[in-house]
Structure 1
């Protein structure tokens, strides 16, 4: 048995499996997501849901003098389904958390810890509020050495429920430079 639906295809699977796969495929297509069913005997359906949660990051300002503060913002974007997520971000060597700039968020989050001694942010049991499509966690960072510092997927540890971010950078210029 085989068939197709808008957004995906079902290829020659047994009748019972084809029905289940077709239902999943069509549900994903109806939601606007691309879907695919792989070959005979496989029930592995890949659908990238439009409500997948994504972690992004940015520095603002992206260029400051040594010793000044740049805000590192983590943005979680996703869909209507509220899911729990967590992550730990370990700052690159040379960057440090600032004690004067408190951690801020508009996420529905159980716990956010700024671990100043280890230069990391730990977000536990994060979530989007009902109807919220995105939320942010913001923390101040600084450096005592001139240079460009990156933050991205390589800095993230213990991530759960999130697609990892790309890389972003901040430049600390020499004072007076």
Structure 2
């Protein structure tokens, strides 16, 4: 699978609910996980590979072991607190990282698993942040949208430099 890179327009579109979990969806989840691992990511939303369906894969790899989390139609149903300032990056904005200040510390997420069972996940800290980042993708939002206007201007300048360097490497 190819990862869509900013400013690809699909990254700004909203995903649709998965209506039926069938072999196609299972294969998509498997392919998304392989792609995430291939690019050393810790999360990937379907939009990032050009698919407008509410699918997310995450693996923080605690202790160096894979622990894949698959979320189908994820929805944050409760949240509390603010996670301390932290740097975020994105496979769709390669080479750029910046501080995000408005992620929730604790969230409760409702989603379907690959067997069509409704699940509830309560999590906090870094996993909470990663889930919020990926759900933002499903809503056509990128982490750079959460930056201050000044930082967004800085991003635009830096992004031009990053793009130029990427082109020179090709």
Shorter-chain TM-score range: under 0.3
Larger helix proportion, structure 1 or 2?
Answer: 2
* TM-score scaled by length of structure 2: 0.21
Higher CA-based Rg: 1
Larger strand proportion, structure 1 or 2?
Answer: 1
* TM-score scaled by length of structure 1: 0.20
